[in-house]
């Protein structure tokens, strides 16, 4: 049986009315706030909706961005990352004509001077004025085989491999020797499968010695169908005016830099007239892919979060007005203004956190769902899924600030009068 305790008396004249410490335990404050939130479950669902949508949009956007970037990176192999091509561009001339630039013959040499260039070579198709291409013996079936010209460096720049023989070198090129390398399919059509006997082919009535047959190339697979002669040979015999394209193979990671330097090295006077094709940096590639989509979704997500925050603020304010008598009672049993403010602040923080938690889950599921449909490997920074609920909590706290302040300003006597 309990006895009401007599007031504490202390020896000595001065008396103390309170027992030290004046802060409520944080755990109790949390407990009260949780109970306050849990007491109104149906309202909770509506209140969190905005935050759920906002966080879900953010997580899904970032998640899909990361996933898409991951797919690109996977396909983004080293070979593609080291290829730079330069072609003459066209601009409108002063009198309305189209001005064409030309690649200089020595473009490969100019490129070789740049640090970071592994190999460089030029390519052009050759107009043989309808001359037929024939294999040996002279007189076998005529073939329309395309004829191309290459500088000595082109083979290395394209990563070409031979099934037999050799490539022509700079010596052949400078002298304008009548030698050719055959593409694999061109060799088939011309009936040539060995080069050790130094076979010849004829273009029109000019004879060329076949010194090598291609097995494979990384790019410009049209070379496999062609008869390929040195640039100088094509220039002297067929009046080739200029190379069509310059192929450069760079060191790994140097492609973007070489892409910027190439036009100046090749045509210092009119660098703008050249069309340069360099691979984008891995980073810029990822940014490009996701930037346009992301911008929209992030904006929508941000808007939803703003609306969600306002929603929480609104409902918390409503709840403060509804619970005036509770506030009065708490003040009567010893709650200070800060306790009342703290409780409402934490309540709205909890609401925001729950919204963030649900939203984060929805966002992750959306990312996985889209990935499955599009046959992607879902990639998501796990920290994002963990940070998102905290973001929701922060939004809740911010949204609760004003209602909490209003609650703390309510006078206990006014609060107890009502209801």
Partner 1 sequence: MTPPVVEMSGVGRVFAGPPRVEAVRDVDLTISQGEYLSIIGPSGSGKSTLLHLLGLLDRPSHGVYRLDGVDVSTLSERRRTRVRGERIGFVFQAFHLLPHRSVLENVELSMIYLRVPRRERTARAVATLERVGLGHRLDFDPITLSGGERQRVAIARALVAQPSLLLADEPTGNLDSGNAASVLALFDELHAEGLTLAVITHDDGVSGRAQRRVRIVDGVMADVEAEVVA
The answer to the question of residue 339 lying near partner 1 (CB under 8 A) is yes
The answer to the question of residue 18 lying near partner 1 (CB under 8 A) is yes
Q: Which of 44, 337, 361, 405 binds partner 1 (CB under 8 A)?
A: 337
Using CB atoms within 10 Å of the CB of residue 206, give its burial: 0 to 12 exposed, 13 to 18 middle, 19+ buried. Answer: middle
Q: Least separation, in Å, of the C-beta of 303 and partner 1?
A: 34
The answer to the question of residue 298 lying near partner 1 (CB under 8 A) is no
Tokens of 259: 């892409």
Stretch that binds partner 1, among 85-93, 258-266, 347-355, 410-418 (CB under 8 A): 410-418
Q: Least separation, in Å, of the C-beta of 406 and partner 1?
A: 18
- C-alpha distances in angstroms, 116 versus 84, 122, 246, 251? 12, 18, 16, 5
Dihedral, 354, 356, 359, 364 alpha carbons, nearest 10: -120
Query: Torsions phi, psi of 160, nearest 5?
Result: -75, 145
* CA dihedral for 273, 278, 282, 285, sign (positive or negative): positive
User: Where is 148: in which H helix or E strand?
Assistant: strand 147-150
Q: Least separation, in Å, of the C-beta of 320 and partner 1?
A: 15
The answer to the question of residue 412 lying near partner 1 (CB under 8 A) is yes
How far is it, in rounded angstroms, from Cα 203 to Cα 122? 22
**Nearer to partner 1 by C-beta: 14 or 383?**
14
Q: Least separation, in Å, of the C-beta of 307 and partner 1?
A: 28
**Nearer to partner 1 by C-beta: 18 or 269?**
18
Q: Which of 25, 75, 113, 383 binds partner 1 (CB under 8 A)?
A: 25
User: Where is 310: in which H helix or E strand?
Assistant: helix 282-322
Stretch that binds partner 1, among 9-17, 227-235, 267-275, 398-406 (CB under 8 A): 9-17
**Nearest CA among 382, 388, 379, 386 for reference residue 64:** 379
Q: Least separation, in Å, of the C-beta of 317 and partner 1?
A: 20
Residues that bind partner 1 (CB under 8 A): 1-7, 9, 15, 17-19, 21-25, 28, 32, 35, 39-40, 325-326, 328-337, 339, 412-413, 416-417, 419
């Amino acid at each position: 049986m309990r006895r009401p305790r007599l007031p504490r008396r202390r020896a000595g004249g001065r008396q103390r009315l309170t027992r030290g410490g004046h802060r409520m335990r944080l755990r109790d404050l949390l407990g009260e706030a949780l109970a306050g939130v849990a007491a109104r479950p149906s309202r909770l669902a509506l209140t969190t909706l905005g935050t759920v949508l906002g966080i879900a949009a953010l997580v899904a956007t970032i998640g899909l961005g990361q996933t898409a970037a991951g797919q690109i990176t996977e396909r983004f192999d080293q070979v593609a990352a080291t290829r730079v091509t330069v072609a003459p561009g066209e601009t409108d001339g002063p009198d309305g004509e189209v001005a064409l630039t030309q690649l200089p013959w020595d473009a490969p040499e100019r490129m070789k001077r740049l640090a970071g260039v592994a190999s460089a070579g030029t390519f052009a198709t050759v107009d043989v004025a309808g001359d037929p291409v024939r294999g040996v013996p002279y007189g076998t079936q005529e073939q329309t085989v395309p004829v191309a010209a290459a500088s000595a460096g082109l083979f290395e720049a394209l990563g070409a491999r031979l099934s037999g023989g050799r490539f022509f070198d700079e010596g052949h090129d400078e002298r304008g020797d009548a030698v050719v390398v055959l593409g694999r399919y061109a060799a088939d059509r011309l009936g040539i499968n060995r080069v050790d006997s130094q076979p010849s082919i004829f273009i029109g009535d000019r004879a060329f010695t076949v010194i090598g047959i291609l097995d494979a190339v990384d790019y410009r697979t049209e070379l496999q169908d062609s008869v390929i002669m040195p640039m100088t040979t094509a220039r002297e015999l067929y009046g080739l005016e200029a190379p069509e394209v310059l192929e450069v193979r760079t060191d790994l990671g140097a492609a973007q830099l070489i892409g910027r330097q190439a036009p100046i090295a090749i045509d210092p006077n009119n660098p703008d007239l050249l069309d340069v094709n360099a691979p984008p940096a891995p980073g810029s590639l990822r940014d490009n892919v996701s930037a346009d989509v992301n911008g929209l979704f992030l904006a929508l997500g941000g808007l939803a979060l703003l609306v969600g925050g306002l929603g929480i603020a609104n409902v918390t304010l409503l709840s403060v007005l509804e619970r005036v008598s509770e506030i009065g009672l708490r003040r009567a049993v010893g709650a200070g203004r800060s306790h009342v403010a703290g409780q409402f602040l934490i309540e709205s923080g909890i609401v925001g956190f729950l919204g963030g938690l649900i939203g984060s889950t929805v966002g992750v599921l959306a990312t996985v769902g889209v990935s499955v449909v599009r046959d992607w490997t879902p990639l998501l920074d796990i920290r994002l899924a963990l940070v998102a609920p905290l973001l929701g909590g922060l939004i809740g706290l911010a949204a609760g600030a004003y209602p909490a302040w209003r609650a703390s300003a309510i006078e206990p006597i006014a609060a107890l009068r009502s209801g």
